[in-house]
């Protein structure tokens, strides 16, 4: 983490609202769907070996995930619900202003700060134009300076922990049980709007609970496949599931 004070003043250019997926909490997902917009489900799996020399990072990841059975192995699976803004956010107006500004998701309030405590803020990797980093209040030194931002980041992390099991239950109830291996690829599902909303409603009504069984991992690299196979992880050999396999 940097000890250099980083200044920031958003200029409202709207670039961060285009060409991406917007991670949402479970409540925000319901609101997003109720507005008629689509939500993707991104599923990743990992275990301790993913961060062998960084146990703190594994612990952080495990809190956002649920431990499930895959073959004879136990692995962690995390599901991220994300508003589809791959072309542009459906809430973005023609004037590049947010149409739901007062109700925008936490992640939009936090950007360009990082939510993951193990990822350093790197202005050069953000969508924001260079000039916005040269003005405004100090945002960050060796920690987040703004107490409101600090609170929003903590609320986002807490929601990730609180929602972890519910999101896996929803995946299971929709039959989405293939994950990609963290750091290798993402398994991106684009469920029907009504299907996802029904899965959330079932969970809210207490009608679905995660079983944590029968999970598979899609891995195309020979070395990774061998490693997962030796761990007893069940591999998805169908490779024709209803997901987009996106290598990272
Ligand atoms: S909800 Fe608003 S701030 Fe968030 S990506 Fe969409 S337009 Fe941008
Ligand atoms: S890209 Fe950066 S400067 Fe532009 S609207 Fe988003 S946060 Fe503000």
Q: Where are the domains of the chain?
A: 6-247
- Average pLDDT per consecutive 10 residues, the chain (248 residues; last block may be shorter): 77 94 96 96 95 90 97 98 96 95 96 90 92 85 81 94 95 95 96 94 88 94 96 87 88
Q: How far apart are CA 200 and CA 194, in angstroms?
A: 10
What contacts 20, CB < 8 A, 6 or more positions away?
Answer: 85, 86
Mutational pocket test of ligand 1: of 37, 94, 98, 103, the residue with most ligand atoms within 8 Å of the beta carbon = 98
Which residue minimizes the CA distance to atom 1 of ligand 1? Answer: 104
Residue from 6, 7, 13 whose mutation best tests the ligand 2 pocket (most atoms within 8 A of CB): 13
Is 132:9 a contact under the CB 8 Å cutoff? yes
* 110 C-alpha to ligand 1 centroid (Å): 11
Contacts of 86 (CB under 8 A, 6+ apart): 19, 20, 21
Which residues sit with their C-beta closer than 6 Å to ligand 1?
17, 22, 85, 89, 91-92, 98, 100, 104-105, 108
Which residue among 8, 16, 22 is best mutated to probe the pocket of ligand 2, counting the most ligand atoms within 8 A of its Cβ?
Answer: 16
Looking at residue 1, its pLDDT comes to: 47
pLDDT digits (tens, 9 = 90+) for 152-209: 999 999 999 999 999 999 999 999 999 999 999 999 999 999 999 999 999 888 888 8
Q: Which ligand is nearest to the CA of 35?
A: 1
Determine contact, residues 161/154, Cβ cutoff 8 Å. no
- At residue 142, the pLDDT reads 73
Position 3 scores a pLDDT of 64
Residue with the smallest CA separation from ligand 2 atom 8 is 10
Q: Output the pLDDT for position 209.
A: 84
Atom of ligand 2 nearest to the CA of 111: 7
What's residue 160's pLDDT? Answer: 94
- Which ligand has an atom closest to residue 11 CA? 2
């Amino acid at each position: 983490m940097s000890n250099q004070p980083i200044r920031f003043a958003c200029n409202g250019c709207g670039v961060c609202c285009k060409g991406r997926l917007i991670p949402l909490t479970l409540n925000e997902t319901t609101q997003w769907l109720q507005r008629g917009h689509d939500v993707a489900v991104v599923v990743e799996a990992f275990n301790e070996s993913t961060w062998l020399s960084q146990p703190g990072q594994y612990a952080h990841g495990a809190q956002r995930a649920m431990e499930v059975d895959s073959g004879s192995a136990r692995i962690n699976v995390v599901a991220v619900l994300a508003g589809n803004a791959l072309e542009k956010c459906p809430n973005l107006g023609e004037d590049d202003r947010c149409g739901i500004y007062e109700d925008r998701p936490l992640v939009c309030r936090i950007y360009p700060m990082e939510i993951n405590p193990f990822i350093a803020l790197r202005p050069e990797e953000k969508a924001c134009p260079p000039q916005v980093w040269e003005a405004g209040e100090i945002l960050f030194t060796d920690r987040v300076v703004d107490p409101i931002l600090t609170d929003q980041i903590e609320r986002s992390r807490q929601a990730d922990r609180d929602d972890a099991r519910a999101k896996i239950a929803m995946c299971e109830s929709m039959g989405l049980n293939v994950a990609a291996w963290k750091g290798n690829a993402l398994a991106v599902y684009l469920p029907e709007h009504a299907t996802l909303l029904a899965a959330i409603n079932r969970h809210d009504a207490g009608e679905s609970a995660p079983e944590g069984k029968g999970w598979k991992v899609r891995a195309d690299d020979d070395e990774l496949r061998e490693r997962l196979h030796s761990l007893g992880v069940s591999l998805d050999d169908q490779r024709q599931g209803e997901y987009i396999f996106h290598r990272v």
